[in-house]
Each structure stands twice: as structure tokens, then as C-alpha cells.
Structure 1
Amino acid sequence: MKKLASFAGAMIAGTLFCGAAQAATELSLWYHGAGNDTERQILTGIIKDFNGSQQDWEVKLEEFPQNAYNDSVTAAALAGKLPDILDMDGPNMPNWAWSGYLQPLDLPEDKIANFLPGAVGKWKGKLYSVGLWDAAVAIFARKSVLEENGIRIPTLKKPWVGEELNAALHKLKDSGQFDYPIDLGMADKSEWYPYAFSPFLQSFGGDLIDRESYTTAEGVLNGDEALQFGEWWQALFNDKLALGTSQSPSDHETGFLDGKYAMQWMGNWVAVKALEKYGDDLLFLPAPDFGHGPKIGAGSWQFGVSAKSEHPDGAAAFIAFAIQDKYLAQFSDAIGLIPATSTAAELTKNYKKGGPLAVFFDLSAKQATLRPVTPAYAFISPTFQKAAADIADGADVADTLDAATDAIDANIEKNNGYGFEDN
């Protein structure tokens, strides 16, 4: 009997041990989209599919409001309580990697070979993040309005040059049909300013930082080309071609749809509403070329692995699972953003070849310019935002750009070059 009892006890213990050994390891995922039911439904669907596809890992989701997300991550990093998987706005990635929030993301190169450049986050030659979508900006316009005013319709192969854009804006102003020729979105005093407006600076030949060294803004943010950008930028508001920083958010949201503006500099995330309003009369026009090529912003929200994760292999496995084309297409169809791969685009309603928003995929592929890939960008962004707003409000262009340059250089020096001086 003793032998039988001992054998039975061993069997039970063995069964419990095997059960424990097979239990999935929990992976925590933080996401910025709390309150967005559409995004949540898709993301929880991906998590459910991943958890059901294997027995090693179980992803658990925690959501945060977007406006509180970055502060929550910073606080958690200081407390040593980061999750396994983070999502992040693309241009923030280098700062988070430099600050020790992230570790490199171990994905085979072929997993991201077909991705739009803006959906891949690399810093110092290492992959840290990858996104399920990107975004692109275009000039929203109406074909009938341009034709009535004798304005050439630009194409991706032959965009407007700066002089053509200026002439078009003045023609539209002189028509007397609109409150302003173009809505630039000046009400959105956020990351929109560097995302949407610094490409104009770069098309003039300037930049937010010297991308050869990443240690100074001297000569690029306050050089001759940057001054030309600043003078042009200020003239838009002095000449009443665009409404400035006094614009209200509601006016920005509906002004183009209500016919107050002839054109709008805006992103693909609102393109469906504009299509519903104007149908076949709506055009999505490429960025103008001010001498150094037409440029638009790139880089949207992406997934990465926190530096504190003890299970980077599991975190990477989830990210690799989430970036399948079918999920990229689901997000695109649901929230209107650009799928990160051409193959995913062909699975969507709007971005497949011949689709009503396919032009945005081409714009992202051919005109997109990443914001500076440096930890300093967290400081550069609000500095440029203030400079652009001040110039729009009438501040001296040279003095404002010099002050912004000095502030950025001081920040870089204070942080010992953010590691670039070792290059």
C-alpha cells in the first residue's frame, strides 16, 4: 500500500509539474489608444489570435489615453516598472532607446523588407521598433476650383514648384470665393507643426539639425535656406494666404469641408470624410518643391520591446505576429491610415491600386522624410513648434531661428551630444 500511495503521489506531482511547465508566460503590452473603440477592437483581436496560436506566451493589454501616455512611460521607467511591449510615436524612439527604455528588437530583416521607411524605427544601425501603419500629408483641393482659376493640377512626377504654389494661392485669394486660399492647420499646436511644416524647411534646403553629425543645428536651422523658408512662411500669414495661430480647432476640422478654404494641407486620416463630401471632385496633391525636392513627414506609432522585459523573445514573437499583412489591412480599413506594406495595401478597400486613397501610399513611398533620428528630437520638436508659431505671428525671422538654433545646441551640449560625439 505504501508503494502504491507513493506511486500515486508521484503521478499527481508529475501532473502538476507538467501543467505548470506548460503554462504560458504573461507578456504585458501598453498601448496609447484608450478610448478609441475601433483600434481597441482590432488590437484585442490580434492579441486573441496570437495567444491562441501558441502555448508559450500570453499577451495582456493595458491602455492609456494618448495625451497621458508618454508621461506614464517616463514615470514607469524611473520606477523600473516598464511593461514587456511598448508602443511609441516613431520620432520618440531614439530618445527612449538612448534613455534606456528600449532594447533592440530581434526580427529577421525579411520581416520588414517590404515596409515603408516611416514604419521602421532604427537607431545607430539597430532595429528598435516597427509599426502597423504610416501616415502621409497632401494638399487637399477640388479639381473644379483649380480649373475655374486656371491653375495647373500637379502630379507626383511634376509637383508644383514654390513659385507655382505661391501664384496659385494668390489666384485663389483674388477670386474672392474663400476666406483663405489654404488651411495649414495652425490650430493644432502639437507635433503637427514639426511633422507637417518642417518638410517645407527641408525642401528649401534647411533642416532641424545637421544630419551629418547630429550634434548641432547651426547652419541648417538658421542658414540662408532656412531664412528663405522663414520669410516665405511669414509671408503666408502677412499676405492673408493662410489663417495663423488664432485659428480655432473647429474651424480647422470643418473649414475645408464647409468651403471656407480653397485647399487644405492635411493628412490621410481625414481623407475619407473629404471624399464623402466632394467625391470625384476631390484631389490629393503632392507636396511642392522649393528647390530641394518635395517632402512630407514620415513615422507613426510603432511597437518595441522595453529594456526591462525579461522575455524579449516572446515580445518579438508577438510583434512579428502583429505585423502580418492581414492585420495591417484591418487597421487601414478601420482607421484610414496607410498600411505599412504594398502587399497589405492590396488587401484594403482604399489603398489598393486604383483605390481612392492609393495616392497616399505613393506619397509616403516617394516623398516621406523621417524627422531627425536622434534623442534630441524630444527637445527639437517643441523648439521648432514655438519658432514656427512665433514667425507666423510676426517675429523677426533671423532672430527667431538663431534663438531656436542656440537652444537646440545648448540642449545637445548639456546631454553630451546624446552619444553622437563618440562617432
Structure 2
Amino acid sequence: MEEQSMQFRRIPQWIIVCLLIGAALIAGCSTPNQSAQPAAESAAEPATETTAPQAAPQESSAETTGKVQLGLWTHSAGNPDELAVIQEWVNRYNASQDQYEITIEAFPQASYNDSVAAAAVAGSLPCIIDLDAPTVPNFAWSGYIQPLPLTEADVAEMGVLSADVGRYNGQIYSLGQFDVALNIFARKSVLEQYGIRVPTLDEPWTKDEFMAALDALKASGEFEYPLDVNAGYTGEWWAYAYSPWLQSFGGDLIDRSTYLTAEGVLNGPEAVAFGEWFQSLFSEGYAPATPADDQGFLQGRIALWYTGSWAAQTVVDAYGDDALFLPPPDFGHGPKIGAGSWQMGVTTNCSPEATPGAVEFVISTMSPENIALMSEASSLIPTTRAAAALTEDYKPGGRFEIFYDMAERFAVVRPETPGYLTISNQFEQALLKIRDGGNVQDALDDAVDAINQDIEDNGGYGFK
């Protein structure tokens, strides 16, 4: 998509592209895989001919029940376990009161993205939608979702992980019930064999330790590569997975004090140091630049695997008690991981009569019992400690408790700006150039110029 086509307050292509790229690879309901990449690429084409499904008027009352009818759209049609949980949430809410009745329309993920984008433009969105965390600010800026009547004190009292609250310009727009955590999968036996310390959350690997570990594994000759970072993935994976490393070096994707420039944070000395290190992973043979697949670690061909906790069960199935879940290294400013998955919000298409019920339902999904129900069905991280305590995997002593701890301690939300699509896209383009041997400073400068131009073209995205 050409950046020039993005005009202030007009974003149909932006929504489509961001939803599609984000949904495919962000921490969410499905594991990134390279076979899915061509679909994500083709989905970025303009979808001007997409027809929005006709949503029933949200303020209408059912003749048989007398209740105000609320529609809910979800992307979960292709995930029966997840959809069953959402249906149970709805059943519980409908039975808890006699004023509102929610009905679900579930879409396969690909058609959901197009449908939401087209319906937003056509003004036919239902009252409640689920949406990917990085898209929340743009939906809010464009006037398609409304702020929830919640304060930061309210969400703190709920105990929600901060990165799973959708925010824009000082207001809260959505709430997330699950997330994932980036980590390094390893095998205990391999680290022991090569005298490599097992890092902990309190004592992660330093940059020097991490590189020493990679050197030892490389020198062993036992592996094709010491590390797999999924560099064959495309789209949102690059910002989601690699910007936390940039942040650990001391840089960032944008100056978060203003959200009006990337100058100095994405192309300053810290960012350049990150870029040079990132380039060395490939130029010095530590990681494959264009892997044929993401099975190297699972097949024993690669020693370490940097990816999301969505793969934890697969790793356990492959290696049992030998599997390790390690925090990312500390490159100088603490370990960092990406965060934010699917969340629920209320649209501006929801009538004044229906909105209180929609808000009440969204908040009800955040009860410990409802969050735990989703975690048990999906194996994803519950977003409150109280909910985690109700699950087998994330309770104290649970086999995946470490992922909750990582999300709580290390998560950095992707920039909460309507301009995030351009930021993500430009960061990916810069890192692809860097991966392939390009000049680090030039690649980052080009990204900064494009990001800053986009911000200017869109009037500051509401931050001026």
C-alpha cells in the first residue's frame, strides 16, 4: 500500500492491511508459519470492492424476549475451542440479566479482517468486536470504536497486565483476555553439555553471555546454526519480535513522549548498535537469514529457538523434561518482549440504548473465571494473576507459569499510535536491508524519514 494513499481520517486500506498482517503473526490464536506468508502478502492489496455484511440495528429489541439485541463479531470461527469459550461468555452474560441479549457472528480469520474493515467504512459494525491490539489506536482515532468508561485505577484494580489494555491518547478502548510471551526455547542437556549457564528471570543472559553461548554452540559443529530467530517470517513478526531487542539496546520505534517523531530513537547510536548486532547474527553464521522452515529446533538441527510461547506445547511434546523456556537476553536496558493480542471493544455504531450492555459484557469477560476459561481452552497466557491461579498451566508452580511472569515483567506494548502500521512496515523494511548486508545507518534513517512523513501527512495522528 502506498503511504500517500493514507489521508487524515480515511483509513479503509490501513485497517485491512494492519488487521491482516497483525492477525497472521502477532501473539494470538495461531502460530506464525512461513506457509501462511504469501496469503498475508496478497491480503495487503486494496480491498475496495469488499462488501460489508449487513449488521442488524444494534438498538432493536427482540420481539420474543423484549431484550435489547447486541451483535458480537469474532475472528474465531476457525478455532472451535476458542469460539466455544466466547459462546460460554455470552451465555453467562445473557443469563445474568434480563435487559440485553448478545448474539455472535463468527468469521474465519481471513474473511473477518476484510469484513470488519468494510463494515467500519460502511457504518455497519455490530456493537462488540474483537480486534488485534496494534489496530486499536487507529480504530479509535478513526472514530470506529468508543472509549470504555474505565480509568487506569480501574484496570489496575482488575489486575490486568498493562500491555493487554488497548489505549489511545490517554483513554482506554479495549481489554484483552489472553496473550503470549516471546522466549528462547532450549534443551537442558545441550546447555549442560557445552557449559552454558541457564539464565533466569532475575539473572538473564547479558549480551556477552549470549554471544559466548552462541559461539560455543557454533564451534561444537553439532548444529546447522546455534539460533533460529524466524527470519523467514514476514509482516508483523519483525516489529513484534525484534523491536524488543532494539528497546533492550536502548532504542525504540518512536519517541513515546510525543509520538510525533522517530528521530533519535530509531536511528540513534543505540539503534545503530542494535542493527549492527542484528546483522552479525546472519553475516557471522549464528542464525539462518532465510530458513526453509521453522522446524530446525524441533528437529535438533538448531540449538536455540527465539519464538512465542504458542509453541510451548509442541516443544514439550518434542523434548519433554529436557525443554527449557528462557527469557530473552538483557542487551543493556533489561530484557524486553512484545505484547498485546486480540481484545474486545465497543463500536461507535452501538446505540446509546445498547452501549451500556456492550460495555458491561466486555468488562464481564475480564472476570478471573472467564479469563481462565479461555486460557484452559487455548493454552495462552491469562491476563490477570487471579485468572492464572485458576488454571492448571499458569497457577503457581504450573508448567507455563514462567510465561505469565515474563509477560508481567518484560512486556513492552507496541507503540499506541494510529501510525503503527507505517512504523511496523518501515521497521521491517529496514531490518530486511540490514539482514541482507545493507548499511545500518542508512536503512534506519530511511525508516525514520518515512515514519515522520507519515505522521506529518496525517496531522500528527491526534497527538499535536
TM-score, scaled to structure 2:
0.83
- Residue 34 of structure 1 and its aligned partner are, at CA, apart by 2.3
Secondary structure at the counterpart of residue 88 of structure 1: strand
Q: Partner amino acid for 1:334? A: A
Question: What is residue 380 of structure 2 aligned with on the other side?
Answer: 337
Question: What is residue 417 of structure 1 aligned with on the other side?
Answer: 460
Secondary structure at the counterpart of residue 331 of structure 2: coil
Correspondence for 1:247 among 272, 282, 291: 291
Gaps of 5+ in 1: 1-17
Q: Partner amino acid for 2:240? A: Y
The residue correspondences of 1:271-286 to structure 2 (distance < 5 A) are 271-286=312-327
Q: What do the CA deviations read for 1:249-272 (whole angstroms, capped 9, x no partner)?
A: xx21x3211111101111111101
The answer to whether residue 247 in structure 2 is matched with residue 206 in structure 1 is no
Secondary structure at the counterpart of residue 160 of structure 1: coil
8 Å CA contact 2:78, 2:109 repeated in 1: no
Correspondence for 1:43 among 68, 81, 86: 86
Question: What is residue 448 of structure 2 aligned with on the other side?
Answer: 405
Secondary structure at the counterpart of residue 262 of structure 1: strand
Question: What is residue 325 of structure 1 aligned with on the other side?
Answer: 368
Q: Partner amino acid for 2:340? A: G
- Residue 52 of structure 1 and its aligned partner are, at CA, apart by 2.0
Q: Partner amino acid for 2:71? A: S
Q: Partner amino acid for 1:302? A: Q
Correspondence for 1:297 among 325, 338, 348: 338
Q: Distance in 1 between matches of 2:62 and 2:135?
A: 41
Secondary structure at the counterpart of residue 286 of structure 2: coil
Correspondence for 1:65 among 103, 108, 125: 108
The answer to whether residue 381 in structure 2 is matched with residue 381 in structure 1 is no
8 Å CA contact 1:338, 1:360 repeated in 2: yes
Correspondence for 2:263 among 218, 232, 239: 218
Question: What is residue 190 of structure 1 aligned with on the other side?
Answer: 235
Q: What do the CA deviations read for 1:191-211 (whole angstroms, capped 9, x no partner)?
A: 111111100001111110011
The answer to whether residue 256 in structure 2 is matched with residue 256 in structure 1 is no
Q: Partner amino acid for 1:247? A: P
Q: Distance in 2 between matches of 1:121 and 1:359?
A: 24
Q: Partner amino acid for 1:164? A: E
Instruction: Give the greater-gyration-radius structure (CA).
Output: 1
8 Å CA contact 1:103, 1:128 repeated in 2: yes
Q: Partner amino acid for 1:263? A: L
Label 1:19 to 1:287 Cα distance change in 2 as closer, same or farther (>3 A): closer
Q: Distance in 1 between matches of 2:267 and 2:319?
A: 41
- Residue 110 of structure 1 and its aligned partner are, at CA, apart by 3.9
Q: What do the CA deviations read for 1:337-357 (whole angstroms, capped 9, x no partner)?
A: 100111110111111111111
- Taking only the aligned residue pairs, the percentage that are identical comes to 50
Gaps of 5+ in 2: 1-60
- Residue 316 of structure 1 and its aligned partner are, at CA, apart by 0.8
Label 1:210 to 1:110 Cα distance change in 2 as closer, same or farther (>3 A): closer
Question: What is residue 309 of structure 1 aligned with on the other side?
Answer: 350
The answer to whether residue 103 in structure 2 is matched with residue 103 in structure 1 is no
Q: Partner amino acid for 2:197? A: R
Q: Distance in 1 between matches of 2:400 and 2:406?
A: 10
8 Å CA contact 1:298, 1:371 repeated in 2: yes
Q: Partner amino acid for 2:251? A: G
Secondary structure at the counterpart of residue 29 of structure 1: strand
Q: Partner amino acid for 2:311? A: V
Question: What is residue 8 of structure 2 aligned with on the other side?
Answer: none
- Residue 107 of structure 1 and its aligned partner are, at CA, apart by 4.2
Question: What is residue 4 of structure 1 aligned with on the other side?
Answer: none
Q: Distance in 2 between matches of 1:330 and 1:275?
A: 22
Secondary structure at the counterpart of residue 34 of structure 1: helix
Q: Distance in 1 between matches of 2:62 and 2:224?
A: 70
Secondary structure at the counterpart of residue 167 of structure 2: strand
8 Å CA contact 1:112, 1:120 repeated in 2: no
Label 1:67 to 1:186 Cα distance change in 2 as closer, same or farther (>3 A): farther
Q: What do the CA deviations read for 1:367-416 (whole angstroms, capped 9, x no partner)?
A: 11111111111221121122222211222211111111100000000001
The answer to whether residue 331 in structure 2 is matched with residue 266 in structure 1 is no
Q: Distance in 2 between matches of 1:375 and 1:210?
A: 14
The residue correspondences of 1:341-380 to structure 2 (distance < 5 A) are 341-380=384-423
TM-score, scaled to structure 1:
0.91
The residue correspondences of 1:77-88 to structure 2 (distance < 5 A) are 77-88=120-131
Question: What is residue 6 of structure 2 aligned with on the other side?
Answer: none
Q: Distance in 2 between matches of 1:221 and 1:162?
A: 20
The residue correspondences of 1:124-203 to structure 2 (distance < 5 A) are 124-203=169-248
Taking only aligned residues, the RMSD between alpha carbons, in angstroms, comes to 1.7
Q: Partner amino acid for 1:142? A: R
Q: Distance in 2 between matches of 1:383 and 1:71?
A: 23
8 Å CA contact 2:279, 2:437 repeated in 1: yes
Secondary structure at the counterpart of residue 214 of structure 2: helix
